[in-house]
Chain A
């Protein structure tokens, strides 16, 4: 068969290579977390021992609770803030300062994480805030906002304003129209944004590491400090859990957006 002109040989093997590079490290580290032996070359038997061992460590239990608490709070607060901003921006005629507002919302994405981390540290010390879970939470809310804003605003843009107008014609107040018309329709975008923000908060190491106080370690920080002893199977086990949680949430977020697209 003669290939069409738009066919370039080699793109398929390179795509396979690309996926191979992206996934192999993740798959390998997960596999070794179930190996009962510490060895790389020999496979003992399938075991959950490293998971049990890791999560019976009080420091890791504590860090897990901290990470979950911060991720839940930061993602919910950031999603509320992002939803409010998206409603203000996208319902009605474009505002004069639309571009500036979008620029500010996306600013946390542009700056290198290490600069955000030291700037936050300097700021919290300057205003005399005690470093701890509170400072991590504040810093996380800030960089979760753009991640929550993106899917929400994409979704709101797709909802026609005529739905609101119809609700107003039927004597709905602004709030009623939002509560019973816009909100249910925007829900897939909101859930998607919430989950992305959750993952982004859970992922952060650099910022938390700078603005954390004594006793407020998050899970990535605990993994990092465990690395000093070396790459242990316990680290593989915690890493596997973190990567599974991220993949699960992002897949759910993607699914939310996808199924909503086909329904409108």
Chain B
């Protein structure tokens, strides 16, 4: 603990200045998250809320369903499927973001120094636009009677609208669109520290362009790539808006499942348990990446 008595006046002032931020985040975020953790071990109240009885039901419910007649626990994969879908959707979005984001970051990093910040700014602007608005804009374009289908029919490439909205693909597309800027920024930062003359050195040693890319460039900026992947993967796996609007309620992901427990089915402990499982998944992902980073540095 902080020993207040031993601090100099100067330090007291400084800790005093820091304390409002610590209080706000501690009181209105850390304590609430701790309450979520506690609630995940309680029983649901009849009309929402909780009963103060210790129970592991919320976590059991994640994997098992109680048979109505025999009251036996039976394995159910319904919630695992939602987790699986969240994983694969987040993975697809991350891959798509990388395929577009890496070349873009490279292009920006090789521009003249004075124009780079302008390019970067152009990439970041859409991130600041309301996520709900951006997702609505995407839905507007890809829906059956939307401009994309009308345009393709006008070109006579298709006779009937392609069903894009409310499909798994629409959700991947929405996540990709939502978090694309997150992939570009860290890769750009890593590339801007990369010494481009190393590529010339590789070339002098008879490496082809692609060999230089694979063996010199990508390993040198791997930290930026990892960071970009994390920044896309983590918000994607917990996303709510894209699966809700673009999946049309049929492509539930973890975020929607959590929200449902507090709005529709009113099982707070179950919602709390899923939130804790989601936080654990994110923590494990972060740990794996940081261990990998350490391993590579050695």
Contacts and interface: CB of A to CB of B under 8 A. Distances in A.
The answer on A and B forming one complex is yes
Contact of B137 (A95, A104, A239): A239
B49 interface: yes
Interface residues of B toward A: which range? 35 or more
Nearest to B16: A88
A258 B133 CA distance: 28
Contacts of B122: 19
Given A21-B180, A223-B133, A205 B17 contact: no
Interface in A1-44: 4-8, 10-12, 14-15, 17-19, 21-26, 28-29, 32, 40-41
Interface in A75-113: 81-82, 84-85, 87-89, 91-92, 95, 97, 101, 104-105, 107-108, 110-113
A114 interface: yes
Nearest to B279: A115
Given A11-B104, A25-B137, A231-B139, A250 B18 contact: no
Nearest to B100: A18
Given A40-B147, A89-B18, A101-B22, A18 B180 contact: yes
B279 A92 contact: no
B191 to A, nearest CB: 11
A32 B140 contact: yes
Interface stretch (B25-33, B57-65, B75-83, B290-298): B25-33
A131 to B, nearest CB: 12
B193 to A, nearest CB: 15
Interface in B179-231: 180-181, 184, 196, 199-200, 202-203, 209, 212-213
Given A15-B104, A21-B180, A122-B32, A202 B130 contact: yes
B15 A142 contact: no
Interface string B116-157: 010101111110111111101111110101110010001000
A23 B137 CA distance: 10
Interface stretch (A55-63, A159-167, A182-190, A240-248): A240-248
A139 interface: yes
Nearest to A139: B28
A42 B146 CA distance: 12
A221 B139 CA distance: 17
B171 to A, nearest CB: 15
B14 A92 contact: yes
B14 A95 contact: yes
B93 to A, nearest CB: 13
A70 interface: no
B17 A112 contact: no
A17 B107 CA distance: 12
A104 B21 CA distance: 9
A81 B128 contact: no
Interface in B6-22: 10-11, 13-18, 20-22
A5 B150 CA distance: 43
Contact of A22 (B18, B32, B180): B180
Most central of A23, A26, A139 by chain B CB within 10 Å: A26
Given A88-B14, A118-B272, A231 B136 contact: yes
B44 interface: no
A64 interface: no
A14 to B, nearest CB: 4
Most central of B10, B130, B272, B282 by chain A CB within 10 Å: B130
Contacts of B16: 88
A87 B35 CA distance: 32
Most central of B101, B138, B200 by chain A CB within 10 Å: B138
A158 to B, nearest CB: 16
Contact of A87 (B17, B107, B279): B17
B170 interface: no
B103 interface: yes
B234 interface: yes
B24 interface: yes
Nearest to A148: B21
Given A246-B130, A247-B129, A123 B28 contact: yes
A117 to B, nearest CB: 8
Contacts of A119: 29, 32-33, 35-36, 275
Contacts of B146: 40
A41 B180 contact: no
Given A84-B17, A108-B25, A220 B130 contact: yes
A227 interface: yes
List 5 A-B pairs, minimum CB-CB distance, nearest first: A112-B238, A88-B17, A25-B137, A123-B32, A119-B32
Interface of A: 4-8, 10-12, 14-15, 17-19, 21-26, 28-29, 32, 40-41, 81-82, 84-85, 87-89, 91-92, 95, 97, 101, 104-105, 107-108, 110-123, 125-126, 138-139, 141-142, 145, 149, 174, 196, 199, 202-203, 205-206, 210, 220, 223-224, 227, 231, 235-236, 239, 242-243, 246-247, 249-251, 254, 258
